[in-house]
Amino acid sequence: MLNCKETSELASRSLDTKLSLHEHARLLIHLAACKLCRRYLLQLRFMQRAIAKQRRAVSTSLDPQLPAQARKRIQAEIDKHR
């Protein structure tokens, strides 16, 4: 049976790559017996989803050009302070 350190490494790797059948089985056996490692894997998955969600939000909200209305407001403020 895997120890907790080995399980944490395998759990982390499982998020990025497909584990072999043997590795997956060993991981499941340890997770069945260890509440802390189950919680750790849940936290890893939560962070993975949160990061992916944040990346999607940032990539869709980035507009390389300012809208015309924003440019006008900025220019008006600059002109006001001259």
Q: Using one digit for the tens of pLDDT, what is the confidence trace for 21-57?
A: 999 999 999 999 999 999 999 999 999 999 988 887 7
Q: Which domain holds residue 35?
A: 4-80
The total number of structural domains in the chain stands at: 1
In this prediction, residue 66 carries a pLDDT of 74
> What is the pLDDT averaged over residues 13-22?
95
- Give 7's pLDDT tier (boundaries 50, 70, 90): very high
| pLDDT computed for residue 62 by the predictor | 57
Q: Both ends of the chain: CA-CA distance in Å?
A: 73
Name the residue among 2, 69, 10, 5 with its Cα closest to residue 30.
2
